[in-house]
Amino acid sequence: MGLKGFVEGGIASIVAGCSTHPLDLIKVRMQLQGENSPMRAAPAQLGASIPVSSPPRMGPIAVGMRIIQQDGAAGLFSGVSATMLRQTLYSTTRMGLYDMMKIKWTDPETGSMRLWKKICAGLIAGGIGAAVGNPADVAMVRMQADGRLPAAQRRNYKSVVDAISQMAKNEGIGSLWRGSSLTVNRAMLVTASQLASYDQIKETIIEKGVMKDGLGTHVTASFAAGFVASVVTNPIDVIKTRVMNMKVESGKARPYAGAADCALQTIKAEGPMALYKGFIPTISRQGPFTVVLFVTLEQVRKLLKDF
């Protein structure tokens, strides 16, 4: 029963991750806008500081068009191999563990599970899943961000395996878990808000007689769950993206000392709303991702119900 939950969750997660990868790529590029801009370190010429204006912010459509212009339509799927590995490791683990805990913690008499138990199950499952999938997450962020750099500064990873091997070789094994505290915290919040809210909203819709248990209910509950997850996790997602993407060079100080330093630098240089950079593509991605995830999950459960 427990293994079945891992298989179902893994299949649904891979389908959802690959189908919404272009939206995730645009979100990452938007979250990195303004980072290392000239305004942060104005050049000194002849002893005087000369302010240089930052490049204008671009919206999701403009970012998407620029990716297509620079790298072609295939550029929208840059880093998709890392996405597949991440979903295989992270999402399969969290979905399977959540399903196991839901079975164990559901009241056998009422057949229901209290909301706080759902949230606890999501926090535990998300944290463990993130720890398992962090190397793939770091590789995915770097591969997605590579295209925004000048050609001479790009890492040019050939695949997720190449990315992970190069990071381990050049920066040490520890680099594969860079930003892991952020990844774990984010994953705990995502899983708790996404899975718990989906189950709770779905149950409420059915109990109140608004809709029957079917496609309409699954789509409605999953989109609402995606919105909740986006609002809760966007600030951590911005910090996580920047920490994972920072370039560490030998003999030079790191751009960020850690997650807290990254948050402080970001707020100081760009204002507190910088933590909600990429929110439109986040909800644009999280909404469809969650819908595809849960609709696929429900269909896979029907197919595998006799196994």
What mean pLDDT do residues 191-216 have? 94
Q: What is the average pLDDT score of the chain?
A: 86
Q: What per-residue confidence (pLDDT) applies to 221? A: 96
Q: What per-residue confidence (pLDDT) applies to 109? A: 87
Asked if residue 16 has pLDDT above 60, the reply is yes
Q: Which residues neighbour 9 within 8 Å (Cβ) at sequence distance 6 or greater?
A: 91, 92, 94, 95, 96, 98, 99, 297
What mean pLDDT do residues 288-305 have? 93
| The two three-digit tokens of residue 167, written as one number | 């990071």
Cα separation, 19 vs 25, in Å, equals 12
Q: Which residues neighbour 236 within 8 Å (Cβ) at sequence distance 6 or greater?
A: 182, 185, 186, 189
Determine contact, residues 234/282, Cβ cutoff 8 Å. yes
The whole-model pTM stands at 0.76
* Highest mean predicted confidence (pLDDT) among 26-30, 37-41, 217-221: 217-221
| The two three-digit tokens of residue 279, written as one number | 């929110």
Q: pLDDT digits over 89-139, tens only?
A: 999 999 999 999 999 999 988 888 999 999 999 999 999 999 999 998 888
Q: What percent of the chain is predicted at pLDDT more than 70?
A: 92
Q: pLDDT digits over 217-262, tens only?
A: 999 999 999 999 998 888 988 888 888 888 777 778 888 888 889 9
Cα separation, 102 vs 43, in Å, equals 57
- Is residue 50 very low, low, confident or very high in pLDDT (cuts 50, 70, 90)? very low
What mean pLDDT do residues 168-174 have? 90
What are the E-state strand segments in the chain? 44-45, 48-49
Q: Pick from 111, 64, 11: which is nearest to 284 by CA?
A: 64
